[in-house]
Amino acid sequence: MTFIKLSLIKVILSLIDVHSLIGSVCFGWRCVLKVLKLSAQGLPQSWISLEQAVIHYAAGDVRWESGGEVAVFHGGTNAITGQQSIITVNSIIGTKGIPKINPFDLRSGLTNTKLFIRDRNICAYCGNHFHESELTREHITPFGQNGKDHWMNVVTACRTCNARKANRTPEQARMPLLYAPYVPSLWEDFILRNRRILVDQMEFLMAHLSRHSRLVI
C-alpha cells in the first residue's frame, strides 16, 4: 500500500457515491455528510466530517470499517513510484486509541430538536402530531414550582396545550400525560443528534436500541 503522508490531509474530493448521499445536502464541493466514528470496541464516539475522517485514515488510526463507501479522496503523486495516493472513506469507522466517551458517564444534551424527535413530534397532552415549528418544550413540573430543565421533566407539547397547562403540573391542570419522559441512551443520542443519517448508519445504530425504545418504528 502506498505510504500516505499527513500532508495528504489537504486532499481534493474528486468522487462521491451518489447512492450514499441520500438525505445529505451539498454546497458546491462541500457536503453536509457525517461519518459515524466509533471506538475500536464499537462504541459511538462522534459524528465527524469527511475531512476529519480523512485525517484518521491518513494517520493510520482506522482499525476497521463498516457501511458503504461514501467518498474517494485523491492526494498527491509519489515522486518515486509515480502512484497517486487514494483514500476511500466509509460511512462507519472504528478508530484505535482510548475511547473519549464512556457510555456509563454519558449525559445526553437536551435540545428542542432532540426532544421533538424523541417524542416523535407528538404532543404529550392531546396526542396529535405537529410540525416542529408548532411544538414547544413543556416542563411537567413548571419552573414556578421548582421544576428543572432536564430530560425526565420535559415532554413535547403543542402550543395550545402548553398555554392551557400554564404554570401547573399535569395533575393540577387535569391534563394527564399520554406518555412518560425518559433519558435517551448512548445509541439513541447519536440518532437524535444527527438529522441526516445514511441508511447503513441508521441500521447500525438501530440494531443497538432496546426494543422498547420510542425511536424503534
Question: Roughly how many angstroms between the first and final C-alpha of the chain, as a whole number?
Answer: 43
- Convert the pLDDT of each residue in 26-75 to its tens digit: 444 445 789 999 999 898 999 999 999 999 999 999 999 999 999 998 87
* Domain map (residue ranges) of the chain: 1-101+186-217, 112-173
CATH code of the region 112-173: 1.10.30.50
pLDDT band at 97 (very low <50, low <70, confident <90, very high): confident
- Convert the pLDDT of each residue in 98-133 to its tens digit: 776 676 676 788 999 999 999 999 999 999 999 999
